[in-house]
Amino acid sequence: MRTPSLQYLYLQKPITMVVIICALSVLPWIGMGDFSTKGEPREAAVAISMLESGNWILPKVYANEFAYKPPMAHWLMAAFSLPQGHVSEFTARLPSALAFIILLGFTLFFFGERIKFQEAFIATLLLLTCFEIHRAGMTTRVDMLLTMFMVLGLYMLYRWENRLQLKGLPIVIPFLLGCAALTKGPIGIILPLFVFGVYLLILRKHRLVTIFKALLYIGVSSCFLPLIWYVAAWKQGGDEFLTVVLAENFGRFFHLSNPDIMYDLGHENGVWYNFMTLCAGFIPWTIFFFFSLFGLKLRWPEKSFKQLLKDSWTSIRSMEKIKLFSLVALVCIVFFYSIPSSKRSVYLMPAYPFIAVFLAQYTIYITEYRTLVTRIFAGFLAAITTAVLLVVALTMTGVIDPVAIVGQYTGKASTLDMVKIAVSSFDSPYWLTISILLVVLVALITVFYQMRRKINIKMLYATIFLVFSINSVIDGVVMRGIRKGSSSRLFAERILKEYPLNKNNTYVMNNLKQYRNLYGLNFYMKNIFHNFEENMPDSGFFLSGEKEIEKIISNYENKYTFDILTYSEHSISEVRQKIVLIGFTKK
């Protein structure tokens, strides 16, 4: 048994290596793609408003709308943007990227001390390369930051019980959970305490009074930081702010709707949605686990259902503490998010590190005892990658023309535009594309070389390296080109140059129940939009999706004269239609 100091020295190099790998997987790419979804520019615009207005509590953003989420992520975006004086894609995505790196580093450190190191290491690599966590680490959203604070808080709660037996008054735990609440609301405190409370009850080691006091102390002390902001924000936003806070934090959970808010809470899905998104979130490793199911010898249990439940409960109670804690955490988190009507895949991210521990254990078992599965999966992934790499090489050398090939099967303009954008992404910058493809080639060679050898664990690591290189192609080449070709940046730059648009004369509709909000255009036009329905100005410029023009003109043609000035060159992905610039004057 290693002493804590020796254990730390043993983990120091692997943690450093994981941090470097995490940094290489996200940091080079977060500044290279435009905003092409509505969520990223919506959050980034809050940071713009903070820097411009100096209001770091409840700034006004899209068309005089206040930010309805707590400001931790926006504070970090604004702080990272201060040295350059403006918010960019890189500084807006940087909080999520750093949270991704910190989360994986601490995950390896936490589990590396408590379970077999190889299990902890592979669990971390599965997290690093799985679709959901990797994607969240590269987007301007609050979910990765929330996950980091909540999961680190859970790690510290386990450590508090395991080492100090719930004694003392920890400071780090309330700080982490308070930051989680400042990122996305009370859920950052409620969910970790729910997990910890259930774990303590199952542990049956502490008296109920002791458990209650521990949860009460952590809960109350964690509210200190967020309460300061909520009070300050309420003084600025008043009852309108409270209405949005209640709808965001409790309306989703209790299936309530509120006609007073001007947007739909959305994301309503059934219970099975969570399990489907978990499977999708762990791609490509979900495919590996699917392959492993073939050849399993299933036997119908001879025991009664009641006896099976009893034996299962006994097995759970006899688990190692860290495995029991991980099981409780993943079950409680998935259960908790099965209750509200509003469900999204990112809500389940706090469960991913704990799920990865069990998946890593299963992966090692399959690799060691069912070697054919590992080899088939490695061959399957390598074959697909080789085929794609060959197509890319032939496209870049001009041997084949994917646009012409696709055009033979479909005449749909949007499909052809997407193929053109994807093909053009291979050319700029050319040296970067070649460099990334060379990394993929090295990964392929490594996989094929390891498949000829008999050391299966090395083949698993080679496959992980291949997945890492595939993610680099997607992030550094494909998505960079797609985001650039489908964002509103070029249209924003053009109309700002050709028309006298400014903060005093540019308007949009701000009613998500009737119209699509142009968050990307708002970001690239530096947050200059005003609410047309609130201001009813005498003249100015108006922006809208082309599918909504007729409705807007018919509603206001008795009061205004409208003049269509220009359209965007292509359909903007966040609104799935072209955007129109209109001049208007009051009659």
Paired with 577 in beta bridges are 572
Please report the pLDDT score of residue 104 as a whole number: 97
Residue 427 pLDDT: 66
Query: Both tokens of residue 248?
Result: 């965001």
**From first to last of its 587 residues, what are the pLDDT tens digits of the chain?**
444 544 555 677 888 999 999 999 999 999 988 998 888 999 999 999 999 999 999 998 888 887 778 999 999 999 999 999 999 999 999 999 999 999 999 999 999 989 999 999 999 999 999 999 999 999 999 999 999 999 999 999 999 999 999 998 899 999 999 999 999 999 999 999 999 999 999 999 999 999 999 999 999 999 999 999 999 999 998 888 888 887 777 766 665 555 555 555 556 777 889 999 999 999 999 999 999 988 666 677 777 778 878 888 888 888 999 999 999 999 999 999 998 877 889 999 999 999 999 999 999 999 988 888 999 999 999 999 999 889 888 888 878 887 777 777 776 666 666 677 767 777 667 788 889 999 999 999 999 999 888 788 999 999 999 999 999 998 988 888 778 778 899 999 999 999 999 999 999 988 766 788 899 999 999 999 999 988 899 999 999 999 888 888 888 989 999 999 999 988 888 888 899 999 999 98
Nearest Cα to Cα of residue 177 among 124, 229, 220, 128: 220
Residue 519 CA to its chain's centroid (Å): 18
Three-class secondary structure assignment of 554-580 = HHHCCCEEEEEEEECCCCECCCCECEE
In the chain the first and final C-alpha atoms are separated, in Å, by: 84
How far is the CA of 519 from the CAs of 43, 66, 361, 572, in angstroms? Answer: 9, 14, 43, 11
Instruction: Spell out the SS3 assignment of 369-397.
Output: HCHHHHHHHHHHHHHHHHHHHHHHHHHHC
C-alpha 192/C-alpha 215 separation (Å) is 10
> pLDDT at position 3, please?
46
Report the pLDDT value the prediction gives residue 520, as an integer from 0 to 100.
Answer: 93
- Confidence (pLDDT) at 103: 98
DSSP one-letter string for 192-210: HHHHHHHHHHHHT-S-HHH
The helix (run of H) or strand (run of E) holding residue 221 is helix 208-222
Cα angle 220-224-226, degrees, rounded to a multiple of 5: 115
Task: State the maximum Cα–Cα separation within the chain, in Å, rounded to a whole number.
Answer: 84
Phi and psi at residue 575, in whole multiples of 5°?
-115, -5
DSSP three-state, residue 545: strand
Distance set, CA 136 to CA 70, 148, 357 (Å): 18, 11, 20
Look at residue 411 in the predicted model and tell me its pLDDT. 65
Please state, as a whole number, how many other Cβ atoms lie within 10 Å of the Cβ of residue 493. 12
**560 pairs with which residues across the strands?**
586
